Amino acid sequence: MPQHKIISDTISQLSIAKLASRKLAKSSNIDRNKALDLISNELLESKNFILTENQKDIEHGRKNNLSNALLDRLLLNEKRISAMAESITKVMNQPDPLGKIIKSWKHPKGMDIKQISVPLGVVCVIYEARPNVTTDAISLCIKSGNAIVLRGSHHAIFSNSAIVNVIHRALEKYVRGYSGMPLLGADVVQYISDKNRDETIKILQAEEYVDLVIPRGGEELKEFVLKHSKIPVIGAGGGTCHLYIDESAAEKIAVDIAVNAKTQRPGVCNAIETILIHKNIAPDVLPRLEKALLDKQVQVFGCERTTKIVKSAKPATEDDWYKEYLDLKVAVKVVDSLEEAINHINKYGTKHSESIVTANKENAKKFQEEVDAACVYVNSSTRFTDGEEFGFGSEIGISTQKLHARGPIALEQLVTYKYLITGEGQVRS
């Protein structure tokens, strides 16, 4: 299979992306959907090619002693490729995020003013090992009319290049849009390969060509990007998420949610890291919670009051309250009141996802109002913070910042707006 030529000069690639973004911005939803449909099909048809290339990354990873967890993130199989294709179709089926009239009104002097949604332009996604981020990011950007610059991990270079080549081929099948004008084409997707971070720094300085940078990975990657970027950044940061078990909580619900939010997938950002429990219910609930957590091999780090009840707990230090374990470990603290729980979360949390289990509606309301986080849950697991679970088709990470995008970064977060003002010669007096 001939590989699409991947250009080696980063700045040229960025300028090609910028030019391509201007054409893409004018495309219709029909054009963009057709392109996504072709991409989804081409991905399924090229399954074997992608799996062969993925094996090279896996072998390379084994030789370089990558951890099993990392190898699992890298690994593709038929099921995972099908899921990637399916996810593209889900994005395709979302409503068009572009050209929406957000507001319209008349100026007293008679001009029409419209605020409408438009693409950002060129979006750069810098990510780590999971090859499915490649297809998620590409499909969300194309659907939202943005050209995309991808910079993935060198551990996934064979897999990512294969996926990008397949997508380029699909896009080349559809260079002429609905109107007969050339619209999409391989240029809207640029992959930049960069073993060290020299090329990444070039991207982060190229404010002329790139409109938004999204680092998707650990805190270290986010810090690196924020430090070097002259371009606006939406950080998909870590999640030190909490579950607070209120005095009135139903025990079964509390234990079920604690176990699900901690263990259903401990390595992800929406898993909980700390459980807070009201002092009046702690003596009853903590022993059953301990048993349920021990069944799942979870180690508890407890405050002084916790360790008196939970015999298997190790004492927690101040550091534990800040930690994102991303592992079968959890910090547990007994609190005197709902207020103490809220203050603890606002102090130690990362504004990602926080949950309360309670039968008291007033307390539920207070918790949702006063906890400062992207997603605040009542009687449900923090594990639902996810673009697909929220019905957005897919996502490029979870934003823990408050500006522009908060929570899942999906189609509606990949657009901006502009004001169109139409008059008949009006001037300001």
When the beta carbons of 217 and 235 are compared against a second copy, the nearer one is 235
Q: Write down the least CB distance from residue 217 to a second copy, Å.
A: 19
Q: Restricting to residues 395-414, which ones interact with a second copy according to CB under 8 A?
A: 401-404, 406-407
Q: Write down the least CB distance from residue 3 to a second copy, Å.
A: 33
d(CA 400, CA 425): 45
Q: Write down the least CB distance from residue 38 to a second copy, Å.
A: 25
d(CA 212, CA 144): 13
Q: Write down the least CB distance from residue 225 to a second copy, Å.
A: 13
Give the pair of three-digit tokens for residue 197. 């971070």
Q: Decide if residue 125 touches a second copy (CB under 8 A).
A: no
When the beta carbons of 286 and 374 are compared against a second copy, the nearer one is 374
Of the residues 261, 285, 293, 335, which one makes contact with a second copy according to CB under 8 A:
261
Q: Decide if residue 368 touches a second copy (CB under 8 A).
A: yes
For residue 224, the Cα-to-chain-centroid distance in whole angstroms is 18
Query: Tokens 């091999």 map to which residue?
Result: 297
Q: Decide if residue 15 touches a second copy (CB under 8 A).
A: no
Site string for a second copy, 67-106 (x = CB under 8 A): --------------------------------------x-
- Report CA-CA distances (Å) from 212 to 129, 170, 202: 21, 25, 14
The amino acid sitting at 144 is: S
Q: Write down the least CB distance from residue 132 to a second copy, Å.
A: 18
Contact 238, 219 (CB under 8 A): yes
Q: Write down the least CB distance from residue 68 to a second copy, Å.
A: 23
Q: Which stretch binds a second copy (CB under 8 A): 29-37, 61-69, 183-191, 259-267?
A: 259-267
Size of the site for a second copy (CB under 8 A): 64
- Decide: helix, strand or coil at residue 27: coil
* DSSP strand pairing (101-106 vs 112-119): antiparallel
Q: Write down the least CB distance from residue 416 to a second copy, Å.
A: 4
Using the Cα atoms of residue 197, residue 201, residue 204 and residue 209 in order, give the sign of their dihedral: negative
Neighbours of 179 (CB within 10 A): 12
Of the residues 13, 165, 363, 381, which one makes contact with a second copy according to CB under 8 A:
381
Q: Decide if residue 418 touches a second copy (CB under 8 A).
A: yes
For residue 101, the Cα-to-chain-centroid distance in whole angstroms is 26
- Report CA-CA distances (Å) from 361 to 103, 175, 273, 358, 366: 35, 55, 25, 8, 9
Q: Decide if residue 330 touches a second copy (CB under 8 A).
A: no
Q: Which stretch binds a second copy (CB under 8 A): 39-47, 190-198, 282-290, 368-376?
A: 368-376
Of the residues 62, 107, 279, 296, which one makes contact with a second copy according to CB under 8 A:
107
The backbone torsions φ and ψ at residue 331, rounded to the nearest 5 degrees and listed phi first, read -95, 140
Of the residues 135, 159, 260, 307, which one makes contact with a second copy according to CB under 8 A:
260
- Report CA-CA distances (Å) from 208 to 35, 78, 150: 27, 40, 17
d(CA 426, CA 218): 52
Closest CA to 13 of 160, 191, 196: 191
Q: Decide if residue 44 touches a second copy (CB under 8 A).
A: no
Site string for a second copy, 229-258 (x = CB under 8 A): -x-x-x---------------x-xx--xx-
d(CA 407, CA 373): 9
For residue 325, the Cα-to-chain-centroid distance in whole angstroms is 19
Residues 6+ apart with CB under 8 A from 388: 87, 90, 394, 395
Q: Write down the least CB distance from residue 280 to a second copy, Å.
A: 21
Of the residues 12, 22, 83, 288, which one makes contact with a second copy according to CB under 8 A:
22
Q: Give contact residues for a second copy (rule: CB under 8 A).
A: 22, 25-26, 105, 107, 111, 113, 120-121, 211-212, 226, 230, 232, 234, 250, 252-253, 256-257, 260-261, 264, 346, 364, 368-370, 372-381, 383-385, 389-391, 401-404, 406-407, 416-429
